[in-house]
Amino acid sequence: MGNYIRFDWAMKRLLRNKANYSVLEGLLTTLLNENIKIKNLLESESNQEEEFDKYNRVDMLAENSRGELVLIEVQNNNEYAYFQRMLFGTSKLVTEYINRGDGYEKVRKVYSINIVYFSLGHGKDIVYHGKTEFRGIHENDILELAPFQKQTFNVDTVSQLYPEYYILKVNDFNKVATTPLEEWIYYLNTGNISDDAKAPGLDAVRKRLKVDNMSSSEKGAYYRHLDNIVILRDNIFTERAEGRAEGRVEGRAEGLVEGIEKGREKAIDDIVKKMKELGFSDEQIAQATEISCGS
Helix axes 216-277, 282-289, angle to 10 degrees: 140
Least confident of 30-34, 41-45, 120-124, 208-212: 41-45
Q: By C-alpha distance, which of 11, 6, 119 is closest to 61?
A: 11
Mean pLDDT of 161-181: 93
**109-159 pLDDT, tens per residue?**
999 999 998 889 999 999 999 999 999 999 999 999 999 999 999 999 999
Q: How far apart are CA 99 and CA 101, in angstroms?
A: 6
Entry pTM: 0.74
The DSSP-derived string for 16-74 is: TSGGGHHHHHHHHHHHHTS---EEEE---GGG---TTHHHHEEEEEEEETTS-EEEEEE
Q: By C-alpha distance, which of 186, 214, 225, 229 is closest to 27?
A: 186
Residue 42 has pLDDT above 50, yes or no: yes
